[in-house]
Amino acid sequence: MAQRYEDIPTSVILRAQVGEPAAVSELVLLLSERAFSLAYRMCGDPEEAKDICQEMLMHVVKNAARYDPARPFLPWFYRVASNVCLNWLVSPQHRARAKSLDQGSSQHPGFQPASMARGPATDAMARDMRDVVHQIVHLLPEEYRAVIVLHYFEGVPYPDLGEILGLPLGTVKVRLFRGRELLREKLEALGFDKP
Amino acid sequence: MNCQEFEHGLEDSPDSSLSPETGRECEEHAATCAKCAERLAWHRGLHHALLNAPRVGIPAELPVESGKSVIEAARRYRSARERMLVGALGIALLGLSAAFFFFGLAEIARDEATAFVSSTGEAVDHVETESGSILDSVWGSIASGIDTFCLMCAPSTDESASVYFALTLALVLLAAAAAAIYLGVRKVGGSRA
């Protein structure tokens, strides 16, 4: 289920902005799940997602003073977090890791082919698109992956998506549509002939 | 609505949440076109599957690990920023005290230059009176050049050198006191953490 898109209490943010350790801890605790979920959906590797998650949270805490408390916090958080994530995905560190994983196994660890390669006539659980679709999202190109993950998994509404990714609403809609199209192609390739 | 318009409608939102009117038109078109009906079913199915996908379980140790490392990183970052600010203030204070120190030196130099020029002038007068030779005229020109140079170098101020030196000393003491307080505060903060 998509996370509820509820904002973080302003009092916590204001105290974290001045570096109060208890407030920073609370903020980290409140954001950890969102940050890890975003990182994992974007990279598909739980171990790498931990590193990305920490990097995201560090960026948020370091730059907390730049946040304007008069505006909602979550769009600001997701903007910082998605920038960190997208930068990470083009970094040599990520490429080297992805290359070594590719050499180690034919599939990415986040991608679980065993549950999906059974074909249309087998296990009814594996036939449930919900169980499969979230595991193949990280295989989408980054521009489509980001909008799909933020909108469907993190529950970010359309207008905030545009603000977070710096895109007009029309582009957001087109990317969501094309992302779904690419997912459909991948699902069809895995034997899902009908939704 | 034709198939091309249907595609645009599908881009808007598959569950018609953004535009109910377009959604209704898409459904009407899909009822008459098998290909578009299949596409609509796919997009709606995917839309709901994505919305209802299972949540990612967060590793139990992550919030604790992240909390510790983030707080430590934030502390280091603030500490580095504080050091930079204190360093800049220290450099500014020392620069100001150095300026006052050189003003003091210049004040002394001005007094000495005035004394030197008057003694040189007396010597030149004496030489000119005694011999009046060409060599003596050259010496006189050099002496008056030194006279002008010394007066240009020394600032024309009425403040005494001692005032400048007192200001220098005060600023150095202020910088030392600020550094001592800063180090003391950091030590107390470090022992609390």
Give the ipTM of the model, two decimals please.
0.77
The two three-digit tokens of residue B163, written as one number: 């005032």
Identify the pLDDT of residue A117: 40
DSSP summary character for residue A152:
I
Give the residue on B whose Cα is nearest the Cα of A152: B51
Q: Are B120 and B147 in contact (CB under 8 A)?
A: yes
Instruction: Note the pLDDT of residue A106.
Output: 47
How far apart (Å, rounded) are the C-alpha atoms in residues A145 and A80?
16
Q: How far is the C-alpha of A16 from the C-alpha of A26, rounded, in Å?
A: 9
Query: What's the rounded Cα separation, in Å, for the pair A13 and A69?
Result: 8
Q: How close B8 comes to chain A (CA, Å)? A: 9
**CB B15, CB B47: distance < 8 Å:** yes
Domains, chain A: 10-189 (1.10.1740.10)
Residue B146: pLDDT band (50, 70, 90) is low
Distance in Å, alpha carbon of B100 to nearest chain A alpha carbon: 38
Hey, CA dihedral for A30, A35, A37, A40, is it positive or negative?
negative
Residues with Cβ within 8 Å of B121's Cβ and at least 6 positions away in sequence, in order, are B143, B147
Work out the minimum CA distance from A78 to partner chain B, whole angstroms: 17
Q: Which chain A residues touch B67 with a CB distance below 8 Å?
A: 24-25, 28-29, 32
- Residue of higher predicted confidence among A120 and A75: A75
Percentage of the residues of chain B whose pLDDT score is greater than 70: 61
Q: With beta carbons less than 8 A apart as the criterion, state whether B46 and A195 touch.
A: yes
DSSP A2: P
Q: How does pLDDT run across A112-167, given as a tens digit for each residue?
A: 433 344 444 334 444 577 778 888 888 899 889 999 999 998 889 888 999 999 99
Q: For residue B52, what are its two tokens?
A: 């209802």
Between CA B179 and CA B94 the distance in angstroms is 12
Token pair 């007009």: residue: A168
Neighbours of A124 (CB within 10 A): 6
Partner residue opposite B43 with nearest CB, options A35, A133, A180:
A180
A184–B46 CB contact, under 8 Å: yes
CB contacts, 8 Å: B193 with chain A: 21
Q: What is the pLDDT of residue B173?
A: 82
Contact A99, A187 (CB under 8 A): no
3-state secondary structure of A63: coil
Mutation site, A52, A161, A177, interface B, largest B CB count within 10 A:
A177
Q: Which of A61-75, A85-99, A140-154, B63-77 has the lowest mean pLDDT?
A: B63-77
Q: Nearest CA to B57 among A148, A37, A28?
A: A37
Highest averaged pLDDT of the listed ranges A90-94, B9-13, B117-121, B152-156: A90-94
d(CA B193, CA B184): 14
Q: Phi, psi (5° rounding) for residue A63?
A: -100, 10
Q: Is A95 exposed, middle or buried (0-12, 13-18, 19+ CB in 10 A)?
A: exposed
Does residue B107 register a pLDDT over 80? no
pLDDT recorded at residue A111: 42
Look up tokens 């079913």; give the residue.
B41
A64: which residues sit within 8 A by CB, 6+ positions away? A13, A16, A17, A27
d(CA B12, CA A58): 36
C-alpha torsion angle, residues B78, B81, B82, B86 (rounded to 10): 180
